Amino acid sequence: MTDHAKLIHVVDDDAAVLDALGIILRMEGYEVQGFESGDAFVRAIAHRFPDCLLLDVHMPGRSGLDILRVLEQSRFPAPVIVITGQGDIPMAVQAVKLGALDFLEKPFDVDRLIERVRQAIDGAPADSFQSGFAGDDRLSEREAEVLAQVVGGARDKEAAIALGISPRTVEAHRKSIMAKLGARTLADLLRIVYSKRR
């Protein structure tokens, strides 16, 4: 198995999170290198790129989004999974626009974390998500309106006000949209939409 040779970089200013992720991922056979700041990580990749990056969004100094901007400019080749304790739709939209493959909220579901890292390294997600997408004609007119709100970064309450419907209705439409387009997560959905526009 080549998993043993795979290097994962973890960038998080919380030492406890770094330790926990290091233990979990090493138990799966990965090599792990942790960084408590974005600057330390940027210096390290001058020497060796990882096979996958787990990147915290909210950090002092350079935020995770700042780091994504740096990586986008340098054509960083590894998949990036954003980790956050305060995730929201506008942040997710921005992270995906800047090249993040996925995002996970703290506290982590360990099995899901490992699955997403494995899929990111194997390169499977992008292909499998694209194949289920035949076009916007699968969506009703209302679903297309909700999708436009989500892609624009609106939270459920903001989309509900804009469309004159309840937040629960927005949530129901969002779930239906994800099912129709083959998206398992919000990041999947955003990536599908952006890849279709390119």
Locate the domains of the chain by residue range.
2-126, 134-181
- pLDDT band at 156, cuts 50/70/90? confident
- pLDDT band at 95, cuts 50/70/90? confident
pLDDT at 195: 65
Which 8-state DSSP code applies to residue 196? H
> Is 80 exceeded by the pLDDT of residue 46?
no
Supply the pTM of this predicted model: 0.69
- CA–CA distance, 183 with 144 (Å, rounded to integer): 15
Q: Regarding beta strands 31-35 and 102-105, do their DSSP bridges make them parallel or antiparallel, or are they unpaired?
A: unpaired
Beta-carbon count within 10 A of 180 CB: 17
- pLDDT band at 33, cuts 50/70/90? very high
pLDDT at 25: 94
pLDDT at 137: 65
Specify the CATH number for 134-181; select among 2.60.120.10, 3.30.70.790, 1.10.10.10, 1.10.3720.10: 1.10.10.10
> Is 80 exceeded by the pLDDT of residue 175?
yes
DSSP letter string, 23-55: HHHHHTT-EEEEESSHHHHHHHTTT---SEEEE
CATH 3.40.50.2300 fits 2-126, yes or no: yes
- pLDDT band at 196, cuts 50/70/90? low
Residues forming beta bridges with residue 170, ordered by sequence position: none
> Is 90 exceeded by the pLDDT of residue 112?
no
Instruction: Determine the number of helices (DSSP H) and then strands (DSSP E) in the chain.
Output: 10, 5
- CA–CA distance, 169 with 29 (Å, rounded to integer): 43
Average pLDDT rounded to a whole number, residues 47-65: 88
- CA–CA distance, 6 with 180 (Å, rounded to integer): 34
> Is 60 exceeded by the pLDDT of residue 102?
yes
